[in-house]
Each structure stands twice: as C-alpha cells, then as structure tokens.
Homo-oligomer: A and B are copies of this chain.
Amino acid sequence: MYGLCDSFGCSKNTNIRLKLPAVCFIWQIAMIILFGIFVRYNEESDTHWIEHKKTKRNLSDIENDFYYRYPSFQDVHVMIFVGFGFLMTFLKRYSFGAVGFNFLIAAFGIQWALLMQGWFHSFGTGKILIAVENLINADFCVGSCLIAYGAVLGKVSPVQLLVMTLCGVTLFAIDEFIILNVIHAKDAGGSMSIHTFGACYGLAISWVLYRPDLNQSKRLLGSVYHSDVFAMIGTLFLWLFWPSFNSAICSHGDGQHRAAINTYLALASTVLTSVAISSLSKDKGKLDMVHIQNSTLAGGVAVGTAAEFMLMPYGALIVGFCCGIISTLGYVYVTPFLEKNLKIQDTCGINNLHCMPGIIGGIVGAISAAGATEYVYGSEGLAAMFPMVPRLQGGHQAAGLCVAIVFGIGGGIAVGTVLKLPIWGDPADDNCFDDEVYWEVSSEILAADLCAW
C-alpha cells in the first residue's frame, strides 16, 4: 500500500528536499540577523539586575519577575509542544506529522513572535528587551498557529506550514496589539486573540484549500487504539496546565491566583457535560474518544478572557457547563455540517474546541466586564483591573472579539490563497493523513493497518 505513489507516480510532487531546507535555513538566518540587531535582555535578565534591584526599594532576588512567572511559563511550554502535539496524534498514520510538524512550527514561530510582539510592544527604545513574560507571549502567539494547524492536519506540506506560521504570527501580533493596546480590551487567557483568531485563521485556510476528493484518503482518517491513548497525553497536559495558561501573564498576586482558580473550575465542569452529551449522542450510551479528547478542554478556552475577573467560582462552573455541551454537540452536528455545506474540512474539529468556545469566551468577558461593580472588586481593585469604566470596558471587549474574527477570517483567506499555489509540495487527495509522504517510516507494517484495510 505504501510506496504506491513512488511506483506509479502521483499527480502531485511531494518532494521537499530543496524547498524545506531552503526555507528553514533562510528563515533561521534571518532570525539571527534580526535578533542581532534588535533583541537584548531586559533589566531583570541582564547582569545589570544587581544594580537595578538596589535602586528599586531594595528588591529581593525573589521579586525578579522570573520567580512569578517561570513555573507558569514551563506549563504553557508543555501545553504548546506536548499538549498540542500529542492531541493531534490521534490519526492512525499521522502521529509523526502531528507531533513533529507541531514541533517545527512552534520552534520557528516563537522566534518570529518574539520579534513581531517585541516591535509592537517595546518600540520606544529601538531595542526589544526580553524576559520571561516575552517567552510566554511568544508561546501564546504560536499557540494560535498550532490551533490553525489542527484544521489542515494531514493535508498540507511542512513548507506550507512554515509559510502559514510566518503569516499567522505576523497577523497575530497586529491583531493582539489592536485588541490589547489600541482598544484596551483585557484578554488574559486569549479567548479572543489566541483561540478565536487562531481558529478562524485555520478554518478560513481550510476553506480555501478545500479538497473535494478527500474521501480518497478516508482509510487513514480514523484512529487506532493506541493512537487514541497517545492523544490523551495531549488532552491531559492541556487540561492540567490550562490554569497556568490563563494565569501566566495576569497581574502579580491575586490576579494570577484567581485566574488559576477560575480555569480549574471551568475545566472540571466541562468534563461532566462533555461526557454526558457524548454518551447521549451514541447508541447504547458509549463514549466517543474524540469528544473526551477535545470537548473537555472547551471550558479552558471559554474562561480565558474573563479568567482574571471576579467571575466567581460558580460563574466559572457555568461557563464550563455550557461549553462542554456546545463543543460536544459541535463534533456531532457542526463538523459534518461545515464540511458538507460550507466546504470547510476541519480535521481536528478546531471549530468546536477553539472557535465556538473562544467566541463564548469573548462574550463572557464583555458581559462580566460590563457588569463589574465597586462592591465586588473594591475601589482599588476595580481601578487596577480595568482601564476604563465597566460599561465602556464591556463595549471594548466586544469590539476586541470582532477584531479577532475579522483578522482571522480575512488573514486566513489571504494566506490560504497563497498556499493554494502549486509550488509547496502538498500531498495528493489520496495521499493525505499519511506520514509516509514526508517521513521515513520503517518498513514494518502494523497489523492494525492490515486488518483495517
């Protein structure tokens, strides 16, 4: 079965022996040059810290921002590389591509994100001064591209993925700057800027790259027993570390503390409703691994924007409750609908995990910001949380959500059009979801394949 394409010749040339190395080298060299010109350590990661801390009310070393954020950073880092990577290993013959290309995209994306975000956020000095918070933001930025990867998993070449990431990071940085610094919306966990943007971007690309004959690869579009267990590694690390994701860049002290609690609760609630709907949707009440792997995470997405707010523990539970239902129903009804009616082929169901919950998250954020009162927040707390009066803040939040959607869809269509050019070495329709195309796969054939075909 494998090697068929080698012997008989395919309509598409998937040889990337020159393209992929060329792109990797050119971009990495560009990164080195740009980092050389622009990037330096900031005052907390520079050897001048020893002088700096004396000038600031005699800080202790432990008050270096590193100790506030590094544990959260590491959790986010695990989510990006292990979480997203393994979540996508569920396909029976695309585990190398899932975890390997995820690795490649993320490693490239974080470098470009440090530059793009740096240019927008520390423009005054002419230099980008980096510290642990920048690393977290770079990971966040790349997260949106990995979400987009979920929509096109198995249908694109690594060269396309690198182009998609370059453009995605660029769009993200602009989008995020507008949402956070122009509109002054709050978005601690990135429901809008990361999830909604990333999902819209990926779905729009998938729409442009629509493959009418994709059912020729249908034999590979499922899981085997062990690939589903691998995917659970991704699910669990995402689920577990989501409190760190949503709290990583919150304000010191109660902000990070509260964001972690809210996310913990929202996620717990999501699991129960995902299981309930999954069981309801199937004959004999059997559970579907796809739902357990994905929908259980929707609460974390949806509580992102409002994670730092005084959402209250029961508020977090309600958000999770609704998202578990909506996300699971999405897998049952919306994904087939999108493919049949809108011609959007969404391999991992990112619409259900990131797009719909992300939009809900944006709405929850707008409502809870608009409803904030001095009674709940305290006068100092309210002033510290929002840069404007609550009602106005609510409006700005809603505007931020719209920006994310517009950037995602618009950017996705533009980038998708570029990726449609026949120069990127993407696989033929009967060759999708197959690691054999871009990876050396040992000659052994799993019996699972023999039996399944």
**Shortest CB–CB separation between residue A232 and chain B, in angstroms?**
5
A385 within 8 A of B: yes
Chain B residues with Cβ below 8 Å from A244 are 74
Tell me the chain A residues, 37-52 only, with Cβ under 8 Å from chain B.
39-41, 44-51
- CB <8 Å contact, B61 and A224: no
Tell me the chain A residues, 78-121 only, with Cβ under 8 Å from chain B.
78, 81-82, 85-86, 89, 92-93, 95-96, 99-100, 103-104, 107-108, 110-111
- CB <8 Å contact, A233 and B232: no
Can you name the residue of chain B whose Cβ is closest to the Cβ of A108? B272
Chain B residues with Cβ below 8 Å from A230 are 226, 229
- CB <8 Å contact, A35 and B314: yes
Please report the total number of A residues contacting B with Cβ < 8 Å.
147
Given A20-B276, A47-B385, A286 and B438 contact (CB-CB distance below 8 Å): yes
**Shortest CB–CB separation between residue A335 and chain B, in angstroms?**
16
- CB <8 Å contact, A130 and B313: yes
Taking a contact as CB atoms closer than 8 A, the residue among B78, B226, B384 that contacts A50 in the complex is B384
Chain B residues with Cβ below 8 Å from A25 are 272-273, 276
**Shortest CB–CB separation between residue A135 and chain B, in angstroms?**
6
A451 within 8 A of B: yes
Given A236-B103, A284-B14, A444-B451, A257 and B313 contact (CB-CB distance below 8 Å): no
**Shortest CB–CB separation between residue A287 and chain B, in angstroms?**
5
**Shortest CB–CB separation between residue A213 and chain B, in angstroms?**
23
A441 within 8 A of B: yes
Complex CA distance for A19 and B287, rounded to whole angstroms:
13
Chain B residues with Cβ below 8 Å from A92 are 444
Please encode chain A, from 210 to 244, with 1 for each CB lying within 8 Å of some chain B CB and 0 for all others: 00000000000011111011101100110111011
Can you name the residue of chain B whose Cβ is closest to the Cβ of A33? B314
- CB <8 Å contact, A279 and B111: no
A177 within 8 A of B: no
Complex CA distance for A377 and B17, rounded to whole angstroms:
43
- CB <8 Å contact, A272 and B61: no
A318 within 8 A of B: yes
A175 within 8 A of B: no
Q: List 28 A-B contacts (CB under 8 A).
A: A15-B284, A20-B275, A24-B272, A24-B273, A28-B276, A35-B313, A35-B314, A44-B254, A47-B385, A51-B378, A53-B253, A62-B62, A67-B67, A70-B71, A71-B74, A78-B237, A81-B236, A107-B270, A135-B264, A158-B275, A224-B446, A225-B441, A226-B446, A287-B440, A443-B452, A444-B448, A444-B451, A447-B447
Nearest 10 interchain pairs by C-beta:
A447-B447, A47-B381, A17-B285, A107-B271, A49-B254, A24-B276, A61-B253, A36-B314, A61-B252, A21-B276
